[in-house]
Amino acid sequence: SKNILEVKDLKVSFNTYAGEVQAVRGVSFHLEKGEVLAIVGESGCGKSVTAQTIMRLIPSPPSVIKGGSVLFDGKVEITKSSKKEMEKIRGSEMGMIFQDPMTSLNPTMTIGKQITEGLIKHQGLSRSAANERAVEMLKLVGLSNPEGRVNQYPHEFSGGMRQRVMIAIALACSPKLLIADEPTTALDVTIQAQIIELMKELSEKTEASIIVITHDLGVVAEMAQRVIVMYAGKVVEQGTVDELFYDPKHPYTWGLLRSVPRLDQRSDAELVPIPGTPPDLFAPPKGCAFAARCPYAMGICLEVDPDQTPLTDTHAAACWLLHPDAPPVERPVEVGR
Ligand code: SF4
Ligand code: MG
């Protein structure tokens, strides 16, 4: 298979004391080997839950996989894998980079130990081979004096360096799939740019396929080849980066693009937020989930949830405006990259 990942109609809910939250409501996408795919959307859209489900990182309960399939590397059905199988896969074939490296690094363990642990346990490397690999990984992510660095603790590193260490840990086992969830959000702007540059470089150097989860379209433009836009637990639009930036078709994507500061004035530009809030996922609307915030909503939008309309081989969007009988609308903004 040329796909490292095939997600089909994935549904994930959380059982809470207040009822069932339908966090992911039928998500489908694929990831080709060597590809960088971005998943974008506001917080609460289901992008992190989707990623964490792919790695089975959310405990169940409270999360429940309600349906669908996640096929990894053409052979492993992730939704049906045991805890033990998942531990092995995560230690040898998948890596994850989180937003806040401080909470995912162990403060009481040297960086070297944190890199070598998985290599010894899951890949059967000897201690000395693992140590060598740790030094090599720290070098790869651009840390100077890696031989000394392996003996240091997380608090001895700056925020940007800690994120480099996280990347080193995630890549140490040469994963086939790397998932980065808001990898630069906690960092300041200059460091963000360096980490993005590093991840781009690594995606070219290593064989890993990458999913990058972000609300930052600047990250998408810099890193990804394809993009999935999620809203209220569903994919509302998907396409190549060019299709999404230059020819977006879904009103939510229009809103997202308009809410992006220009890349050259990133730090002080005004964000134009999309008015309104996402729907309550305890009781999702029966029609289009974006209808309450959409300036183009029509009668049918409140009644029937639109299917994805294919636009090209790579581009599709779920919106009634793409129906042949829909009234024409003028796209509100021209967005440049
Ligand atoms: Fe707006 Fe209707 Fe399209 Fe939903 S289906 S985004 S409400 S026009
Ligand atoms: Mg998140």
Tell me which amino acid residue 123 is.
Q
229 close to ligand 1 (CB < 6 Angstrom): no
The pLDDT of residue 262 is: 53
DSSP labels for 186-241? TS-HHHHHHHHHHHHHHHHHS--EEEEEES-HHHHHHH-SEEEEEETTEEEEEEEH
Burial readout 93-113 (b: 16 or more C-beta within 10 A, e: otherwise) = bbbbbbbbbeebbeeeebbbb
Mean pLDDT of 214-239: 93
What average pLDDT does range 176-201 have in this prediction?
Answer: 85
pLDDT at 268 (0 to 100):
45
Mean pLDDT for 181-194 is 82
CA of 297 to the centre of ligand 1 (A): 5
User: Strand pairing of 177-181 and 94-97?
Assistant: parallel
- Burial environment of residue 250 by CB neighbours within 10 A (0 to 12, 13 to 18, 19 or more): buried
> Residue 271: is its pLDDT beyond 70?
no
- Contact call for residues 176 and 94 (beta carbons, < 8 A): yes
So what's the pLDDT on residue 334?
57
d(CA 233, CA 162): 31
Q: Tell me if 293 CB under 6 Å of ligand 1.
A: no
Does 251 contact ligand 1 (Cβ within 6 A)?
yes
pLDDT of amino acid 269? 46
Sign of the dihedral through C-alpha 247, 250, 255, 257: negative
- Any ligand 1 atom below 6 A from CB of 297: yes
Q: Which domains does the chain carry?
A: 3-93+173-322 (3.40.50.300)
pLDDT tens across 91-131, in order? 889 998 887 767 789 999 999 999 999 899 888 999 999 99
Q: What is the DSSP letter of 4?
A: E
Contact 54, 179 (CB under 8 A): yes
pLDDT at 20 over 90: yes
Answer yes or no: is pLDDT of 57 > 50: yes
Q: What is the pTM of this model?
A: 0.91
Cα 321 to ligand 1 centroid, rounded to whole Å: 7
pLDDT in tens, 69-98: 999 999 999 999 999 999 999 888 999 888
pLDDT at 212: 94
Which helix (H) or strand (E) is 20 found in, with range? strand 19-32
pLDDT for position 154:
93
What is the DSSP secondary structure assignment for residue 298, as one 8-state letter? -
Helix (H) or strand (E) holding 19: strand 19-32
**Regarding beta strands 63-72 and 76-77, do their DSSP bridges make them parallel or antiparallel, or are they unpaired?**
antiparallel
Q: Share the mean pLDDT of the chain.
A: 89
Dist. CA 236 → ligand 1 center (Å): 10
Coil, helix or strand for 110?
coil
Stronger pLDDT, 84 or 193, i.e. the higher one: 84
Rg (CA), the chain: 21
Q: Taking the CA of residue 21 as centre, how many other CA atoms within 13 Å lie in the half-sphere pointing to its CB? A: 17
Phi, psi angles (nearest 5°) of residue 227: -135, 140
Tell me the CA–centroid distance for residue 56 and ligand 1, in Å: 32
Q: Closest ligand 1 atom, CA of 288? A: 4
189 pLDDT more than 60: yes
What are 304's two structure tokens? 């029937």
